Amino acid sequence: MSVPLQVVAQLGAQVVVLTNSAGSLHTGWYPGSIALISDHINFSGRNPLIGTPGDERFVSLVDAYDKRLRTRMRLAASTGGAPNLHEGVYMWFSGPSFETPAEVKMAKTLGADLVGMSTVPETILARRFGLRVVALSVVTNFATGIAGGNPSHMETRTTARSGSIALKRLLRAFVRSVDTGAG
């Protein structure tokens, strides 16, 4: 994703909106709901900037998920996108296998609300190129052991399709708010 994000930044974009599918660590965050990412935990041990020459690789991730954009997203959710928008910390696992019960327990202990297999490297790269980031998860399942969760790829794909309806409404409301300068 380094080259596409760099090109987007060089073309003058200032904001990137990232989306993903994620497992919920809360029994009240049902599959099909939407969550706004406020921060992340990089559990994978990988960083897309390893091996990059120069000091630009030392990227600050304070407010990696831009506060003003999150405020606008919450406003968009309340005015027509997703009135039950959740907000929390996303923990990145490398995948492609789903997390074990012990990993989910650890994620909860460390303060995660969602688990997934993407978004964190893209966020790090976007921040390196000076882009502001807002990120959303479609909750596609309960993580392993949460409310009987036993995630499968089929469940993820099916729920992502149905959850995408609310996600599209939210993204449209968000884009309209940015266009009008609301929030």
Alpha-carbon distances, residue 91 vs 54, 98, 112, 116, 163 (angstroms):
28, 12, 6, 6, 20
Per the CB < 8 A criterion, the answer to whether 72 and 170 are in contact is no
Other CB atoms within 10 Å distance of the CB of residue 11: 7
Q: Comparing C-alpha atoms, which of 142, 140, 158 is closest to residue 150?
A: 142
CA pair distance 107, 93, nearest whole angstrom = 10
Which of 87, 99, 103, 155 is an active site residue? 99
User: Which residue's structure tokens are 């995948």?
Assistant: 95
Concerning whether 99 is annotated as a catalytic residue, the answer is yes
Answer whether 124's CB lies under 8 Å from 84's CB: no
**Residues annotated catalytic, as ranges:** 99
